[in-house]
Amino acid sequence: MPCHSTETASHFATLTPVKPGFGIRELLGNSEEENPATFNVFKVDKGPLLSHDKVPFHIFGTVTEGELVLEEFGKEETVHVKAGDIFHVVQGTPLRWSSPEGCKGTCIELRPLGDRAYLNDIY
């Protein structure tokens, strides 16, 4: 069948951090060359900033619990994404993110399913 569904609650409970304070897991996606997309669940713990010098793809997401703080390097403006809000990170953005209380959410990354090399560039 060309439609797929999966529950997410158990995936949040078993997220393994890929970096201290940050866990993400792919659930659905495709690796089409023209239109790659990957749906993820993520969790950010209360704690220090996480950074990526240049996000390699567009990210569209929503926070389901807590609050996520997004900040572009070199800019004084921060974006506070609260439970129920949606966000978009533009490809190429030098990004920092954190959470004052911890948060959970979902996101679609415009990258092929299984391509997780970008995680090595998070610090």
DSSP states of 105-121 as a string? EEEEESS-TT--GGGGG
Question: Which CATH entry fits the domain spanning 15-121: 2.60.120.10, 3.40.50.300, 3.40.1030.10, 3.90.226.10?
Answer: 2.60.120.10
pLDDT tens digits, one per residue of 57-102: 999 999 999 999 999 988 888 999 999 999 999 999 999 999 999 9
Which residues, in sequence order, are CB contacts of 82 under 8 Å at separation 6+?
Answer: 63, 66, 67
Residue 9, helix vs strand vs coil: helix
Its pTM stands at: 0.90
81: nearest Cα among 100, 62, 94, 101: 62
Structure tokens that stand for 109 in this block = 């990354």
d(CA 85, CA 99): 14
pLDDT tens digits, one per residue of 23-70: 999 999 998 889 999 999 999 999 889 999 999 999 999 999 999 999
pLDDT at 3: 87
Sequence spans of domains, the chain = 15-121
